[in-house]
Structure 1
């Protein structure tokens, strides 16, 4: 009888231990998966030819991306749109801002925007921005009364055609 009681106690003990270990498995897997707490600041991305596609695919853009060049910490993007509206200027501004703040090695960004309507693409504008330019640029609030084009022209090198 004692033998049966010991075997039963041992099986209950092993079952409890197994349940505890299984309950810890999700916690242990999250620790190694790279998931971050909600309010922790994300580390900047070190942009390379290998991480460039991932970085750009995460950027919300309605304009079409045609060509990308990455050379000596300078990023060049060719985009197209049917019309340059305040929403497109906002997209350009935020793309520049994210590229320079979410990466640790991009020194400058050059965006070239073409008209997507005609058979032969016509140049609409180019914008060139550096990290120094971004430091001088304030956080843009829509309530400020200024358009995104005004912000682009004030803080970055803009050529409109």
Structure 2
């Protein structure tokens, strides 16, 4: 009798464990939707240190992000300017960053972007600032068109009319008029 009881108990416990394990993925996905660690792909959300990587992965950029800092209402980004980047890709990335951060977030009111030339340097002391932009939420309203729909001239005008952009001599050397 003892052996039959042990077998029944073992089967019962195994069955309970199997049912719990089969429900675990469903519980994980239902919790993950409203989790602060998950960024909604098409909705406006609050950016935190936990979901910032999820948001940045969704932003289609050609330049590489080197550094990101997030305060309560301001995001600062450092972008690395590749050697072969043209001015159109730089303007497209700046427009896309401003559009995403100002229109897909609730709490980011300012976006500071620095485009830095890291080429040919072994330490950060000899990096050169190429361009800087400060984008504010009020100026970024109604950015409905995507960056790919705009020409180089339209991108440049949109960015200069909406935001504060500072060009350095390095920009003028690299992209003369």
Distance between the aligned counterparts of 1:135 and 1:65, measured in 2?
24
Alignment correspondent of 2:137: 131
Q: Secondary structure at the match of 1:75?
A: strand
Larger Rg: 1
Shift of 1:42: 3.4
Unaligned runs of 5+ in 2: 1-25, 34-40, 169-177
Given candidates 131, 145, 153, the residue that maps to 1:146 is 153
Residues 93-152 of structure 1: per-residue CA shift (max 9 Å, x gap): 011101111111111100000113231321000011111011265636426x73422221
TM-score, normalising length: structure 2: 0.62
* RMSD between aligned residues: 2.8
The question of whether the paired residues in 2 share the 8 Å contact of 1:137 and 1:155 is answered with no
Cα shift readout 1:16-56 (whole Å, capped 9, x = no counterpart): xxxxxxxxxxxxx7xx585xxxxxx9331210111111111
Q: Using structure 1 for the length normalisation, give the TM-score.
A: 0.68
Post-superposition offset of 1:71: 1.0
Runs of 5+ consecutive residues of structure 1 not aligned to the other structure:
1-28, 35-40
Whether the aligned pair in 1 keeps the contact of 2:68 and 2:76 (CA below 8 Å) is yes
Matches within 5 A, 1:19-30: none
1:159 pairs with 2:166? yes
> Counterparts of 1:54-133 in structure 2 under 5 Å?
54-82=54-82, 83-119=85-121, 120-133=126-139
**SS of the counterpart of 1:146?**
helix
